[in-house]
Structures are given as C-alpha cells and as structure tokens.
Amino acid sequence: MKQTTIKSAVEGVGIGLHKGEPIKITLEPLGANSGIIFYRKDLGVSFKAEPKNVINTQMATVIGGKEGYISTIEHLLSAINGYGIDNVRIVLDANEVPVMDGSAISYCMMLDEAGTAELDADKKVIVIKRPVEVNKNGKFARVTPSNNPKLDFTIKFAHPIIGEQNYVFEFSKQAYIEEIARARTFGFLKDVQMLRAQNLALGGSLDNAVVIDDNKILNPEGLRFENEFVRHKILDAIGDLSLMGAPLMADYTSFAGSHELNHELTLAILSDDKNYEIVTLKGDFAREYQKVFA
C-alpha cells in the first residue's frame, strides 16, 4: 500500500472562530515522507503537524513556535486522517484554521474535490504494542493494541441536554464520512459570552457550533445526530491523534477526554519505543488495511 497526497490544489474561505475574520485556506500536494505541513503565508513560516510542535491545548489544538502559531487544527487534521492522506501542505493567511460549520464535513468536500494520488513510497502505520494511558482528575485517554482500530468515547455533563453519552466508532473512510465528519463542535451560551468579553470566539455563531443554554439547544435546526456531542469528541480525537505522523493501529478509549489528554497521550506513547513500532504496509496486512479506505 502506497502513501498518498492530493491530486491537485484546492482552495476555500471560512471564518476564524476566535477573531471572526475571513481566512483563506489552500490544500496543496506534497511528496512522499513529507507529512502534514502547515504554512503561514502571511509570516512565511511552516510548522509540521507533530506532537513536539503543539504549544496549547486549552480550547483547541494549537501548533507553532517563536515565529507564530496556528490554532484550531483538529477538525482539518481529522478529515485528512479520515481520508488516509499522508502528505499535504496547508496554506493559511492567518493564525487559525477556518471553523467552517464547526464539523469536518467542509474539509471532506475539499478533499473530494482535490482527489487522492498515490506516491512512490510505502505507507507506514504506528502499531501500538502495549497499553498506554494518561489520566487526570478521573478523566482518561488510552490506547491498546488492535488490528481493527476502534474509538470508544464516553462523555458526562451535568446538563439535561447532554448527560452521559457513549459511542464506539469502528474506523473506515466511509464510516467516518457518514458517522463522524458532520458532528459539530458545541459550547454553552454562558461560556461563549465570557469568551467574547475576552475578545475570543468572535466568529462563533449558530452557523458553526451547537450552542446550549441552561435547558435547551439554541440552534433552530436542532442536532444532526441524537448523540452529536460525543461524536464530535471522536472527531477531535482522530484529529489530535493524527499528530503522531502516521495512522495508529490501536483501539482508543476515553472518558471525558480533551485536546490536552490526547496530546499527553501522544507524548506518552512516544516516550518509550517499547510502546509502539512503525510498520511499513506490505502484503496481506496492506491489502486488509486498504479496504478501510476503499
């Protein structure tokens, strides 16, 4: 099975969640073994999507360095991972990825438009060899060895609309598009008001998030899935874990996980080479894995 990139460049424009300003985004093909590269056109600097470049996980996953940063990368990375794309350059003219409709489906549409191209290099995956877990205040994120990757996520909110939700997602490209990609980010009205007072979330609206007050959903159209909240957490986790640099052959389980826990999990995995092995996809293993992206 070969590495992939996109066939042709594709452009889009969307609102930045925090600044509320239009942002142009272009996805461009890259050669084999390049990985996922973010490029700030306005600054002339690049950042590779990898754990060591993560500088903040409080409200979104942010990569960068002393030259600048790029925020809210997780939804786009989730779509790229869902499509099995190994190499692509993401060109932006601002410090955040457009939020689009709060899900990953707009990026799926961009990837469909760009198409997928094989490269002359074998695809690699990260095979988890033993359980790795991080936990904090009763919340946890864990990976365990598996040849049939699944994501098992549970959330629990003391809110009548959300409550406790669990979803188990068996990974494939088609299942990602149908079950995960359309799940939107969500927030509470009181938090949105607080953030705006700090000049944050200025681009947030009912067009790009599910917003909840004390007892109801404010979006007139309601939810896209009955359990849209936990599905979006899986969407985020897929994006965060893609910072490993190759698809994970592992089951992922989380209770009340977050960008912070996902980042700490990637660091914990990489902290000991007994935890994982980088495997080149060949033979029967490759043929079985390829079915996931058929």
The pTM of this model reads 0.95
Residues 243, 154 share a domain: yes
Residues 93, 15 share a domain: yes
Residues 153, 70 share a domain: no
Q: What is the pLDDT of residue 19?
A: 77
Residue 288 sits in a domain whose CATH number is 3.30.1700.10
Residues 277, 136 share a domain: yes
Residue 135 φ then ψ, to 5°: -145, 155
Residues 172, 253 share a domain: yes
Residue where a domain stops, chosen among 122, 138, 161: 122
The verdict on whether 263 is a catalytic residue reads: no
Residues 100, 37 share a domain: yes
Catalytic site residue from 18, 159, 259, 263: 259
| Strand-pair partners of 92 | 25, 40
Q: What is the pLDDT of residue 147?
A: 85
Contacting residues for 253 by C-beta, under 8 A, at least 6 apart: 140, 141, 142, 143, 144, 151, 152, 153
Residue where a domain stops, chosen among 78, 97, 122: 122
Q: What residue type is assigned to position 141 of the chain? A: A
Q: How far is residue 189's CA from residue 287's CA, in Å, rounded to a whole number? A: 47
Q: What is the pLDDT of residue 262?
A: 98
Residues 134, 110 share a domain: no
Q: What is the pLDDT of residue 203?
A: 80
Domain that holds residue 193: 125-293
Q: What is the pLDDT of residue 107?
A: 98
| Strand-pair partners of 279 | 125
Q: What is the pLDDT of residue 292?
A: 66
Could you list the mean pLDDT of each consecutive 10-residue stretch along the chain, which spans 294 residues?
96 89 96 97 97 95 96 97 97 96 97 97 95 97 94 95 96 96 93 74 85 93 97 98 94 97 98 96 73 60
Annotated binding residue 159: no
Burial 69-101 (b: 16+ CB within 10 A, else e): bbbbbbbbbbbbbbbbbbbbbbbbbbbbbbbbb
SS3 content of the chain, % helix, strand, coil (to 5): 25, 35, 40
Residues 187, 168 share a domain: yes
Residues 166, 154 share a domain: yes
Residues 282, 143 share a domain: yes
Residues 180, 108 share a domain: no
Annotated binding residue 18: no
Q: What is the pLDDT of residue 200?
A: 66
Residue where a domain stops, chosen among 79, 107, 122: 122
Residues 239, 173 share a domain: yes
Q: What residue type is assigned to position 69 of the chain? A: Y
Annotated binding residue 236: yes
State the DSSP H helix or E strand holding residue 72, giving kind and residue range, or none if neither: none
Total tally of structural domains belonging to the chain: 2
Residue 72 sits in a domain whose CATH number is 3.30.230.20
